């Protein structure tokens, strides 16, 4: 008897393992183009990820040869807008999670797909991947966060060139420019991203989330307020049970057992 695989009916697959959540875009036949169902599922997966004390870091991956081709234009023509009230485009662009998120890119990430990648904190990409914001070539504007984030991730002249021409940048060139954390063989981006995630998950979850917040928010802090603002974030971590456990585990020469409290 042949069993039917029903996973294709789910726009996003979610799995958890040892503090790491894996969120997988699962519309390979549509090049993982984002429709409302996918955006809603991503939003829900990220919201639960942030709320769960046993999860420290997440990997955003995709099934099929394309990471994401952007917005589903067929759904758009039917009147759909792949936007959620809280997180915006694709359930991530306007409000990424407060915990670290790693993009595992195996294949093209273009238009809204590149904007999803830019909403992540770290990028692991296969050598065959490439990135582009081709909206201007279609008379549109990349309004899903790409234009807001790209100048902070690449040198200004290069970010401007990519945005104004819609041209693609290869994973290798992106790595050379500092956009990508790790570049790997095709087909191995997810496993490499999970290795990076495991390194992060071995650390204190409260400390990890606070560290991300400081790095992310501090560029907007006034210089004379920076240390005070930082202290507001770090004080609860310093007084946490996990901080005590980290110190105790170090003195006892063992791995810490984090509780997220």
Catalytic residues, which ones?
A: 115, 135
Residue 39 makes CB contacts below 8 A (sequence gap 6+) with: 82, 83, 84, 89, 90, 91
Residue 178: count other Cβ atoms within 10 Å of its Cβ.
10
Please give the distance of CA 253 from its chain centroid, rounded to a whole number: 33
d(CA 178, CA 26): 28
Residue whose C-alpha is closest to residue 241's, from 258, 224, 254? 258
Burial of 60 (0-12, 13-18, 19+ CB in 10 A): buried
d(CA 170, CA 49): 31
Residue whose C-alpha is closest to residue 9's, from 20, 21, 30? 30
d(CA 55, CA 20): 6
- Which residue(s) pair with 68 in the sheet? 109
Residue 156: count other Cβ atoms within 10 Å of its Cβ.
10
Alpha carbon of 82 to those of 10, 35, 62, 74: distances in Å?
16, 5, 17, 12
């Amino acid at each position: 008897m042949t069993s039917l695989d029903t996973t294709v009916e789910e726009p996003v697959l979610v799995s958890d393992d040892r503090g790491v959540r894996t969120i997988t875009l699962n519309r390979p036949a549509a090049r993982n183009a984002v429709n409302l169902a996918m955006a809603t599922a991503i939003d829900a997966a990220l919201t639960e990820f942030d709320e769960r004390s046993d999860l420290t870091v997440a990997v955003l991956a995709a099934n099929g040869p394309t990471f994401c081709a952007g917005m589903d234009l067929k759904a758009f023509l039917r009147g759909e807008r792949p936007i959620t009230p809280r997180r915006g485009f694709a359930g991530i662009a306007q409000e990424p999670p407060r915990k670290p998120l790693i993009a595992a890119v195996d294949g093209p990430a273009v238009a809204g797909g590149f904007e999803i990648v830019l909403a992540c904190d770290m990028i692991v990409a296969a050598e065959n991947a490439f990135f582009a914001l081709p909206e201007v070539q279609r008379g549109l504007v990349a309004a899903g966060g790409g234009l807001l984030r790209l100048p902070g991730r690449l040198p200004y002249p290069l970010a401007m060139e990519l945005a104004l021409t819609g041209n693609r940048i290869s994973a290798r060139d992106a790595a050379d420019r500092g956009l990508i954390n790790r570049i790997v063989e095709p087909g191995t981006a997810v496993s490499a991203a999970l290795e990076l995630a495991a390194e992060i998950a071995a650390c204190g979850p409260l400390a990890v989330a606070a560290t991300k917040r400081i790095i992310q928010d501090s560029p907007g802090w006034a210089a004379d307020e920076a240390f005070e603002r930082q202290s507001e974030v770090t004080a609860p971590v310093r007084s946490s049970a996990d901080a005590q456990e980290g110190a105790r585990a170090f003195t006892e020469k063992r791995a810490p057992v984090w509780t997220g409290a």
